[in-house]
Chain A
Amino acid sequence: MKINKIFCIIYFLFLVPLHSNDNKTELSEIYKNLRCLVCQGQSIADSNSDFAATLKLVVQDQINEGKNKDEIYGFLISKYGEWIVYRPTVNKGTILLWSLPYLIFIAGGFIIFVIIRKSKKSKAN
């Protein structure tokens, strides 16, 4: 019985920092994806500017209110536009950006296929 209690205490002792670490990881992931609009190519995670500090407070508040990543990004995009996030959402304006790598990949595969087929044909001849 005593051992069980000790295990329970140890379990909870480890669980609490683990949980707070999860929260920290999520916060840091969000910070890294938010652009500091007054800095030169920095995310708010890397910046100590006034704007970055304020944005961090707002993100923390929204996490505490139970909002998820997408809701936070949605809120900030509604205020600052797509530019605020490094990873833009898929929409009419960004569809080309998202689909282009796949299109190039397919086109590249097709080109390689044509070249191989041609070289095989010329070898056979």
Chain B
Amino acid sequence: MKISILKVIIFSFIIFSLSIFWLGLKINNNYDTKSLIGSQISNFQLTEINNDEQYISREDLRKNKYTLINFFASWCAPCRTEHKYLLSLSNKNKEIKIVGINFKDKKINANNFLKELGNPYGFVGEDADGKTSILFGIYGIPESILLNNELIVIKKIIGPIDQIQHDEILRLTQ
């Protein structure tokens, strides 16, 4: 039986389209920036929230064995829920230095927030216009980034830290 070349092409095209459709359905479409894991952070410089003359830059983080950079704001409700886990991390593992980056917030509100809930941060930087957050691939807060002393991202947490992530951070930094 002679098979027409046209039929073969049409059949192949249908199979190809169905395969693409099937693959498209299988791919996880939930967007995240976890692809940053394993990459080194960009250079940045931040002033301390209560002292404009005090700075922190990327190179300062090399001194810490592990650094957890946490983006927070007083107006962010999930930041309140994760705060107890940040306090616990700062108490349980002294090798993790937590750097807070206060995102698009008022100084007075940020200070009241820390006074009310406690301060787990070794340094609180001010990101009033949010530009620093872009350097870290942040698109909403709270977000946290765990770095080693080579400034490589070893974990990125999008959303508030919960018990599972708290335990995971402790395990990774042991």
Which of A9-17, A21-29, A63-71, A77-85 makes up part of the contact surface? A77-85
A55 interface residue (CB < 8 Å to B): yes
B78 interface residue (CB < 8 Å to A): no
> Per a CB cutoff under 8 Å, which of A38, A54, A110 touches B129?
A54
Q: Is the CB of B35 within 8 A of A81?
A: yes
Per the bound structure, the CA–CA distance linking A65 and B136 in Å amounts to 20
Per the bound structure, the CA–CA distance linking A72 and B97 in Å amounts to 32
Cβ-closest chain A residue relative to B135: A79
B104 interface residue (CB < 8 Å to A): yes
Q: Is the CB of B134 within 8 A of A55?
A: yes
A8 interface residue (CB < 8 Å to B): no
Give A59-114 interface residues, CB cut-off 8 Å to B. Answer: 61, 76, 78-81, 83, 107, 110-111, 114
> Per a CB cutoff under 8 Å, which of A50, A78, A81 touches B104?
A50
> Per a CB cutoff under 8 Å, which of A51, A83, A110 touches B140?
A51
Q: Contact size class for B?
A: 20 to 34
**CB < 8 Å A-B pair total:** 45
Q: Is the CB of B139 within 8 A of A51?
A: yes
Q: Is the CB of B130 within 8 A of A38?
A: no
Q: Is the CB of B6 within 8 A of A114?
A: yes
Residues of B within 8 A of A80 (CB): 33, 137, 139
B31 interface residue (CB < 8 Å to A): yes
How many chain A residues touch B (CB < 8 A): the figure is 21
Per the bound structure, the CA–CA distance linking A52 and B136 in Å amounts to 15
Q: Is the CB of A79 within 8 A of B36?
A: yes
> Per a CB cutoff under 8 Å, which of B6, B31, B131, B133 touches A115?
B6
* Seed contacts A79-B135, A115-B6; 17 additional CB < 8 Å A-B pairs: A37-B31, A37-B139, A38-B139, A38-B140, A51-B140, A54-B129, A54-B131, A54-B133, A54-B134, A58-B131, A76-B134, A79-B36, A79-B42, A79-B137, A81-B35, A111-B6, A114-B5
Q: Which residues of A come within 8 Å of B, CB atoms?
A: 37-38, 50-51, 53-55, 57-58, 61, 76, 78-81, 83, 107, 110-111, 114-115
Q: Which residues of B come within 8 Å of A, CB atoms?
A: 5-6, 9-10, 13, 31, 33, 35-36, 39, 42, 104, 129-131, 133-137, 139-140
